[in-house]
Structure 1
Amino acid sequence: MSTSPVGSTPRVVAIHVAKGTRLPMRSVEQVDVEAGRGIVGDRYHGTRHRHVSVQSLDALAEAAERHGADVPAGLTRRNLTLDHGTVPRTPGTRVRVGAVLLEVVRVAAPCKLLDDTIGPGAQEALRHRGGSIFRVLEGGPVSVGDAVELDVPAG
């Protein structure tokens, strides 16, 4: 469960990247994020729209309750984990992480690989709790501890 005070600003508590599909995610303290390309060094860097994935510890706590076991942030295959809050799901919604501006493309659908890495039933437990996929509108560095604005007005 989230221990952050109600109304407090969400912050990045974990960053994970993988160099290739199906390769293990590794935890890092900072990443460089390029506009229109994604996280430098991540498997999705340079793809058309799947630049950055974001999830929240609040949603992971719900998934763990449903799953009946811990759902570690590093095993969900998402890039950024927030300490609390609801990650927007509506396409076009904008989020600012430090200096980086992101825009929701779609909900992040959990894959079957999660049943292998977290345990049977993890994919279903994360359905509707797996965060969102974003495209990068403005790049820059993202570090653990960066503040997150979850609904940035367009323009």
Structure 2
Amino acid sequence: MTPTVVSIHIAPGRRLPTKSVPSVEAEAGAGLVGDRYHGSRHRHVTLQSAPDLEAAAADLGRPVDAGLTRRNITISGGDIPMRPGARVTIGDVELEVVRIAAPYRLLDDNLGPGAARALHDRAGTVFRLLTSGRISVGDEVVLDVVGVPG
């Protein structure tokens, strides 16, 4: 089954709460319009998977709200590529892996003690936007788990 976007979250500034949106404009070379990283050089969007959040919740013994992880897009499943240069397509928007999104201490503040540890190796991936377009909840996601040679 093809993965789909199950939630989208943006935050207007650092440490400000994220808000759930049904869709967002993705701007090539800049990021998600309205998000704190819009205009940054490489950190345009972060992607995480719902099954990884469910596994972290099982470790924690409590639910993990996708919005509290501060990642932008949560998808229904599949292996999110982590190798720099690998590509993902969401709807008509193409993204390229920059690096793994490491869990950070703020997760313990947002989700409770142990959250950063539970999300280790499950915290998603940072991407740059190669093309522009609208990303919406329900969009299909094509994952390039092999990546590009190099």
Please give the TM-score of this superposition, normalised by the length of structure 2. Answer: 0.95
Q: Aligned with 2:144: secondary structure?
A: strand
Deviates more, 1:67-76 or 1:140-149: 67-76
Deviations 1:11-66 (A, max 9, x none): 00100000000000000001000000000000000101000000000111111112
2:143 match: 150
Distance between the aligned counterparts of 2:42 and 2:56, measured in 1? 26
2:32 match: 39
1:118 match: 111
1:98 match: 91
Query: Does residue 133 of structure 1 match 2:98?
Result: no
1:2-81 superposed matches below 5 A: 8-81=1-74
C-alpha RMSD over aligned residues: 1.2
Return structure 1 stretches of 4+ with deviation > 6 angstroms: none
Distance between the aligned counterparts of 1:87 and 1:69, measured in 2? 23
The residue type equivalent to 1:16 in the other structure is H
The residue type equivalent to 1:50 in the other structure is R
The residue type equivalent to 2:103 in the other structure is P
Kept after mapping to 2: 8 A contact 1:19/1:43: yes
Percent sequence identity is: 58
1:4 match: none
Q: CA deviation at 1:68?
A: 1.8
Out of 65, 70, 79, the position equivalent to 1:86 is 79
Q: Aligned with 2:122: secondary structure?
A: coil
Structure 2: which 5+ residue stretches go unaligned? Answer: none
Structure 1: which 5+ residue stretches go unaligned? Answer: 1-7
Deviates more, 1:111-120 or 1:64-73: 64-73
Distance between the aligned counterparts of 2:42 and 2:106, measured in 1? 21
Please give the TM-score of this superposition, normalised by the length of structure 1. Answer: 0.92
